[in-house]
Structure 1
Amino acid sequence: MSPESATPQPSQSQPGQAQPLLEVDSLTVDIDGEVGKHRILDDVSITLEPGEPMGLVGESGSGKSMTLRTILGMLPPAATVVDGEVRFRGRNILTSGSGRRYDQKVRGTGISMVFQEPAIALNPVMKVGRQITDAIAERKGLSKRASHDLAIELMDRVGIANPESRVSDYPFQLSGGMRQRVMIAAALAQEPEILLCDEPTTALDVTIQAQVLDLFRTMQQEKGLGLLYVTHDLAVVAQLCTSISVMKSGKIIEHGNLQRIFDEPQEDYTRRLLSATPRIDDGVQLERAT
């Protein structure tokens, strides 16, 4: 397979075929810098099927996080979408016009995101239970009691011990792993069809990281979520995802299923990423998602 054939192209659903859940089609984004505009995403195309867990991998600065932020309509003010579409269930949610507006109804309800640093993403002066359910309580008109009970239920679902007491804690009272679980609970509260994950286990120690990855895998399988997981760590992708898109310098340079990418990478860059992944050379292979 040539690199050209490995690079994903925007899919066109045929009659009788299931529609892709998410289509990022030829997305191009510039950002203003001190010496003029800089292209941070260059003709990026990704197709995510319903229930598919996909890894988006590459080194720091390759455009992975910016891709997620564009999908969610959270670009910084200096960034501009020059071209392309983001389609959720076939409908473009990036609308043309001044500043390339975003369909706010999709954020949270259709697509949710778990950020890298919960200490930054969480409001330090708001109780975590309220942060988990605030958005959905407002949208559904939940009472204070119902919102409180839902927060406890979600905290229990993501493995937070003693949720009845923890629901009234502030973020600083929780460990890093528990804060990340709060972020996952808040994302799941919206009942999304797609979960975007921006290196959510990077700041955690290896034991807690394994627990959180197991939680992601369980939630994804139980809910049938489409998962787009950003990381530089191919060992993480091997545990969680069934397909991989590789980014370099704002471009998708290779895409394929997990086994093909690990066994027959087409790009030197992908091979270098794989060679940088710690492995045990005594016959024990990385655990791979199934």
Structure 2
Amino acid sequence: QDLSMHDFSERLAVATLTALAGILLFRKHRRNKLAQQWAVKAPALAKPLPLLAVKAPASSFQLALDAFDQCHGNRLHKDRFVLVPVRRGIEEMSPLINAALAYGAHIAGGAARWMVSPVANPVPTADIDIFPPDQSVFEALEATLMHMGYEKYRGGRADMALTFMHPGLKSPTRFVQLVVPRKEKHMNTAATNVEELLASLDFTVSRAVIVSTGYALVDVDFERDERLRLLRVRHIVCPISSVRRIAKYTTKGYRCRMLEIIKLFAEWSRRAEANPDRIQLDAPKEVTPTQLLEMFSRRARGALEAEDADQAEDVSAIILG
């Protein structure tokens, strides 16, 4: 029995040593493998890490601009529209209203404002703007207007709208402008529904769209501001063209608060800050504030190349009218 216990102890010791030796060999093999992997990765890890881009702190002007936008920016305004009755012009306007609605187009802007204004003697309109949603409707309405006796008027701007004149009619139906459907970053004259079209118009008093021969959809503040002859900016296509439109409306008896004018300057600055590298993001004829300033500076110095001169004329026609 003593011999058997001795043999068992000896065998147990041998088995234990064998197991320990195996474990040690496995660990050595693993260390060697990890060392080889590290030798391969080490050169790549030794490369300098790229510097992280650090955003420059905002300037005091940018902070002030952000604060202004948070208090007065149009992006905070939620568009709301209400239905109001047509108060004048139904008899003479009905043929044009029906023609537009038949194709899914709408009469909007100055003519619509005049038709639904709550004041007794609203500012008259010189023409009627019709907004077709796409090119096919544009072409169909062009043919319809010609069939109704209208003729193309060469005095209009074909890049923005086709102007028609009816020699046998008086204002406001004498002149009709068929607006070219376009969609750009800040401009949308190709709206597919009434709310979308209204949201693309600038002042509360111009946010009116005829939806039938008896009713129009207008901005929730339309009637209030129309009674006060007050210009309130709701959407800015171009700050420069908005300045010209304010001047146009003030000659008709409307007034504009300083806050609304500051909105235009803030929007001009915001667009310049949003695109500091002057990358042209929009349609070819929409330029950044920096590009516009440089363009007119070069023109003043007589340093415009032929291509730049053509572009300047296009921009002048579109923005400055």
Provide TM-score, normalisation by structure 2. Answer: 0.26
* Highest RCO, 1 vs 2 (Cα 8 Å, sep ≥ 6): 1
Larger radius of gyration: 2
Give 1 or 2: higher strand fraction: 1
Provide TM-score, normalisation by structure 1. Answer: 0.28
Give 1 or 2: higher helix fraction: 2
